[in-house]
């Protein structure tokens, strides 16, 4: 279950003061443009389509080639939506490794800007992820937390094909998109509510990949006689050893193409 974040006392959820305003109360042209692009991007979308639409909006507004959104969860982040197959793969790589800017942003509750994964501090901080990201054509990753400074419920991850920093204005826009993403996710029907309009629980249909992973974890638990944490660790280790994602291996497990045996 995801905890609803508290609204930031200064304004919009996620710690931003909201589109169209600045801290001093003056006009905010970047925020105003972002608000216009967001409104156009989500117009006519069903609630479950909004996270994916906002990922596309982020790519339109910022100097990035892809975006994905993941929610905090026990074990592995829940990858909900992405702007492209490449962005989805980068999110799955981070989930498989349990490491990367996304994981660090979840732990810190603050933006993590990995501006150069090809060398230096960022490459050394997440060496395995940095290698796999660069092989996938990504040189920089910016992870912006969803929620407030008190409760981080997930991240908006932005991917760039060349090293470089986000300017203060670009980070401001990224925070705006993350704030709207948080509101959109919290507005989706929750599983603890009596019933949605179409009878589906919150996030139904959005987190099917996550369901496959945890179905596989359950099967590995039964095969090895271990707990959930150990089963997930074995799944991740197998995926890493074979250069695959945890989702790829999970699908093989649930389809009975792969079985885990005790040592």
50 and 177 both lie in a single domain: yes
CATH number at residue 239: 1.10.10
Last residue of a domain, one of 135, 153, 187: 187
Q: Over 70: is that where the pLDDT of 3 sits?
A: no
Query: Are 80 and 153 contained in the same domain?
Result: yes
Q: What is the pLDDT of residue 74?
A: 67
The mean pLDDT value for 133-161 works out to: 90
CB-count burial class (<10 Å; 0-12, 13-18, 19+) for 29? exposed
Domain annotation covers residue 235: yes
Q: State how many domains the chain has.
A: 2
Tell me, yes or no, whether 247 lies in a domain.
yes
CATH number, domain of 106, equals 3.30.450.40
Q: Are residues 163 and 241 in the same domain?
A: no
Residue 52: half-sphere exposure toward Cβ, Cα within 13 Å: 14
Mean pLDDT of 180-201: 59
Q: Which one of 187, 212, 235 terminates a domain?
A: 187
Q: Which pLDDT band holds residue 178 (cuts at 50, 70, 90)?
A: very high
On whether both 181 and 63 belong to a single domain, the answer is yes
Distance between CA atoms of residues 88 and 244, nearest Å? 14
pLDDT per residue over 96-144, tens digit each? Answer: 888 899 989 988 889 999 999 999 999 999 999 999 999 999 999 999 9
Residue 24 lies in a domain: no
Position 97 scores a pLDDT of: 86
Q: Are residues 179 and 219 in the same domain?
A: no
How do residues 23-60 score in pLDDT, each as one tens digit?
445 557 778 888 899 999 989 888 778 889 999 999 99
In this structure, are 171 and 70 located in the same domain? yes
- Average pLDDT, integer, range 194-211: 48
Mean pLDDT to the nearest integer, 203-232: 71
Are residues 183 and 210 located together in one domain of the fold? no
pLDDT at 245: 79
Same domain assignment for residues 245 and 175: no
Look-up: residue for tokens 């509101």?
Answer: 183
| Same domain assignment for residues 145 and 86 | yes
Average pLDDT over residues 230-239: 80
Give the confidence band of 212 by pLDDT, cuts at 50, 70, 90.
confident
Q: Identify the residue whose tokens are 């920089």.
A: 140
183 and 206 in a single domain? The answer is: no
Confirm whether 13 is domain-assigned: no
pLDDT cut 70: percent of the chain above it: 78
The tokens for 90 are 């980068």
Reduced to 3 states (helix: H, G, I; strand: E, B; else coil), residue 4 is: coil
Q: Rounded distance, CA 87 to CA 102, Å?
A: 13
Binning pLDDT at 50, 70 and 90, where does residue 233 land?
Answer: confident
Q: Which domain holds residue 214?
A: 202-255
Which tokens go with 72? 């905090």
- One domain, residues 117 and 158: yes
Is the pLDDT higher at 184 or at 104? 104
- Between residues 213 and 110, which one has the greater pLDDT? 110
Same domain (yes/no): 117, 216 = no
Whether 217 shows a pLDDT value over 90: the answer reads no
Question: What is the pLDDT of the chain when averaged over all its residues?
Answer: 79
Domain final position from 187, 219, 240: 187
């Amino acid at each position: 279950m995801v905890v609803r974040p508290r609204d930031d006392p200064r304004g919009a959820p996620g710690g931003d003061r909201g589109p169209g305003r600045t801290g001093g109360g003056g006009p905010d042209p970047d925020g105003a443009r972002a608000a216009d692009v967001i409104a156009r991007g989500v117009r006519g979308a069903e609630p479950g389509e909004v996270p994916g639409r906002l990922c596309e909006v982020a790519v339109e507004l910022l100097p990035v080639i892809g975006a994905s959104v993941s929610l905090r969860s026990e074990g592995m982040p829940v990858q909900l939506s992405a702007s492209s197959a490449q962005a989805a793969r980068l999110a799955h790589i981070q989930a498989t490794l349990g490491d990367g800017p996304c994981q660090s942003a979840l732990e810190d509750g603050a933006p993590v800007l990995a501006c150069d994964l090809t060398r230096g501090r960022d490459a050394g901080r997440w060496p395995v992820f940095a290698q796999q990201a660069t092989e996938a054509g990504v040189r920089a990753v910016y992870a912006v937390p969803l929620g407030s400074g008190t409760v981080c419920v997930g991240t908006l991850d932005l991917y760039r094909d060349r090293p470089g920093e986000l300017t203060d204005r670009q980070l401001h826009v990224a925070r705006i998109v993350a704030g709207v993403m948080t509101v959109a996710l919290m507005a989706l029907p929750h599983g603890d509510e009596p019933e949605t309009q179409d009878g589906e629980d919150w996030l139904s249909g959005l987190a099917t990949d996550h369901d496959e992973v945890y179905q596989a974890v359950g099967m590995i638990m039964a095969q090895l006689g271990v707990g959930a944490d150990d089963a997930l660790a074995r799944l991740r280790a197998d995926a890493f050893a074979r250069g695959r994602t945890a989702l790829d291996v999970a699908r093989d497990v649930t389809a009975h193409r792969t079985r885990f045996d005790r040592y």
